[in-house]
Structure 1
Amino acid sequence: MTSTTNNNRTREPTDRLEKIILKYIQNCTQHVRQKAENRILLVKAEMEEYKALQVFEQLATPLQWSTHLIFKSKMKLYGTKSKNYLAATKRVEYDLPPKFISNIDYTFKIDEFIFSKDEAQALYNQMRHITKEYRIQAMSLYVQSTNREREIFTDEIKHIIEGPRFIYNDPKTASRRRATELAILKRKIELRFFEKKVSPGRSVELFIAELNVILQKLHDTSTTSTHRQKKQQHKLILSDNPLATTQSSQSQNINSSSSSFRNEKKKNYGRLVKRLKHKIRSASVVLQKTDKSKVFHLGTRQHYQKKSNEYMEKTEAYQCLGVNDPLPNLIERTNKYLLDLRLAHWITQKQYELLCVKPSEAKLAHL
C-alpha cells in the first residue's frame, strides 16, 4: 500500500509537469501550425488553378491564348511591384529605411578647440536634422514611386481585361469608327517617322491597309454570326407557326423574283450598249465631239460631210495649205520621236507599235 501511494504521489507532479510543458510547446509553436495550414490552403488553391489552366488550354482560341501569355507576365510583375510597395510602407512604419538611404550620413568633424561646446553641439544637431530630413524626403519619394508603379500596372491589367479601346461589340459602331481610328494611327506613325527625318514610304500604307482588312474581317464575322443566329431563330419560329411559314415563303418568292429581275438588268446592261452601238453603225450615224466644249454632232454621214464643208467655206480652212500639207511632216516627226524613245528603252516595242501613227489612218481635224 505504501509503495502504491508513493508512486501516485510522484506520478501526479510528473503528469502536471508534462501538461505544462505540452501547453508551453503548443503556445510557442502556434506560428508553425498556422504556417503549415497556410501552406496546405495555398497548395489546394494552386491545384484548382492548375486544373482551370488545363481546361483553358483546351478551350482557348489563339487570340485568347496570346492574351493569357501577356496577362501572365503582367501579373508576375504586378506581384513584384505590390511586394515592393508593401515593404516600403512597412519600412516607413517601423523607421527602417533601405541601405541606399540609411548609408548616407551628413556629418563632418568640427575643431572643438575653436568652437565652444554649445556652438559645436548646435552644428552637430543641424547635421542630424539635415540627415533626418533627407531620409524622410527620400523615403517618401521611394514610397510614392513604388505606389505609382503599382497603379500603372493595375491600369494596364484592366486595359488587357477590357480589351482594345477601338473594337466595340457593335459591328456598325466599329465600322464607323474604324476609318477615323486608322487615320489617327497613320498620322501618329508618320509623325514618328518625320521626327527621325525619315520618309514613311509605302510600308505605312500597307500596314494600315492590312490592319483595316483584319478589323473588317473581325467585324464581318461578328455580323455574319449574328445574322446566322437570327436566321436560326426565325426558322424555329416558322416551324412553330405554319401560317407564318406560308407568308415567309411568299415573301421569299417575291424577293427572289425581284433579285432575279435586278440581276437580269445588270446582265443585260452590257448587251444593251452593244446593240446601241450596232444600230448607230448600221444607220451610218456620226457621233463626234466638236471643237466647242461639251458640244457633240449627231447625224448621218452625209449631213456630217455637208456641215464640215460649210464650216470649211465659212472659216476658209485649209485654203492656205495648197501643196504644202503639214500632215506628212507631222507624222514623220512623231514617229521619229517615238523611235528615239524606243531605242533609248524608254518605251517597249509593243508600246511603240501602238503609238506609231499610220499615214492612211491620220487626218487633220477640221470640225
Structure 2
Amino acid sequence: MAFKYFGFEAQGQQMRLWMESPTGSNCPIKRSTVDMATLQKSELWVIQSKVVYLADNWHEWADRVGFPIVSIGGDTCLYSKSIRQVTRKPPAMTKWIGRIGPGVIFADDFRRELGAHDPYMSEFMKSVYEAHFSVMSLKHVIFTSVVEKKTYRFVTRELYSSRGLATPLDEPQTWESPSSEFCGILGTPIGKITGAFVLGTYGQGIKRIARIVTFYTDYALHMQFDLENVKLYNLQNPWIHRYLRDSFYGRPMRNCECNAPSLCSKAKDKDDCEHKRALCRSVLLCLSETCICCLLSIPIMAGLTNSAIIVIVLVVCLAVTALGASLFKHYKPADGETPFSPGYEQKLYMAEVRARGFETLQQACWGRDVESRYVPGPSYYRPHIHPEDTNTNTASF
C-alpha cells in the first residue's frame, strides 16, 4: 500500500484499524487499569483538583464543544467542571495539567521522560475524566498550544505548506477519517497519545476518532480530536453490509446491535433459521403446484384442444424453468451440494469474498491490512512496545 505521507501515515493507519476493528490483532495497547484512586494512594504524586470558571477568551472554545454557560452574581461565566494537575515529585519530570468538562478534555501541559515507569499521558487523561464523568460521554479531546516538534512540523510543513495554506490560518481545517492527512496526523506523537487513550479507555471496536480539526488562535496551534461510537457494521464494502443486514446470517448480529444479547445464541439462531428455510421451501413448493394446477385448468375449462393444452403446458414449464434459472443463477453447486443444502449459502458467500481478492470475511469487512502491522522504520507497533514509549518528551508545552 503506497502512503502519501510515509512514516506517520502508516502508523496512523494502523492505529485507526485497531480502534475501528473489534478483532484486530497485534494491538499492544491494553485496557488501562490506572485510576485516580490508585494515584492518590501513592506518595509519589502531587494531585491538585479544583473547580474553576473559564475566562472570557474561552467563549470560542465553549461554542466549539458545547460548554454550559451559567450566571453567577449577574455575570455570565463559562463553567468548567474541574481542572486537574498531576505532577511527579522531584527529581522526575512527569506531569499532566489540563481541564475537563462535560464531554471534553483539554490537555494543556504534559511531559513524560523516555523510559520512565510512570503511567502514560493517555492513562492520566482517562483517570482524570472518569473521576467526574462517564467515559462514554466524552466527545472531544483538545490539545491546546501544540509545540511538540514532530507534530507541529508535520501539520505546518507537510499539511499546510503542501496545500499552499499560510500559517497561522484563521479558518479551521477538518481532516476526516480515513484520509491520508487524517492518518498522518494520527501517526504523530500527539495523535498516538489520543489513539492510545481511546484504545486504553474503551478497548477495540467501541470508540473511534472520526475527524481531526486543526486551528489557530493568534499564533498558537490547537488540535481537536472528535470521538464517535464505532458502528457495528462500519464496513468498507456496501455489498457486505447489505448481505449481513438482509440475510438470515445477519439476524444474530442485528439482535446484538439492538442490545438484545439474550437472542444472540448461535445455536438457537442456526436452528431457528433452518426451520424458517424449510418452511419457506414448503410454502414455495405448494404455491408452485397450485399455480400449475390453476394454469392447467384454465385451458380445459375453455374447451381447447389437446394440442393447445400441450403447447400451453410446455410454455408454462419453460417459463418456470427460466424463472428458476434466474433465481439460482448465482448458486453453483459445489461438491455435489444443492442450493438447499445446509450451509450452502454461507459457502457461496465466502466464495464471493475470495473472488473479490480477500481471504477472510474479516479482511473483506475491514481491509487487507487488518491483521498486519507496520514493520518498516522504528518499531512503534511491536506487541511489547507501547506507542507512547518511543517518544522523548512526548509533548512539552
**Higher helix fraction (1 or 2):** 1
* TM-score normalized with structure 1 length: 0.20
Higher gyration radius (CA):
1
**Higher strand fraction (1 or 2):** 2
Higher RCO (CA-CA < 8 Å; seq separation 6+):
2
* TM-score normalized with structure 2 length: 0.18
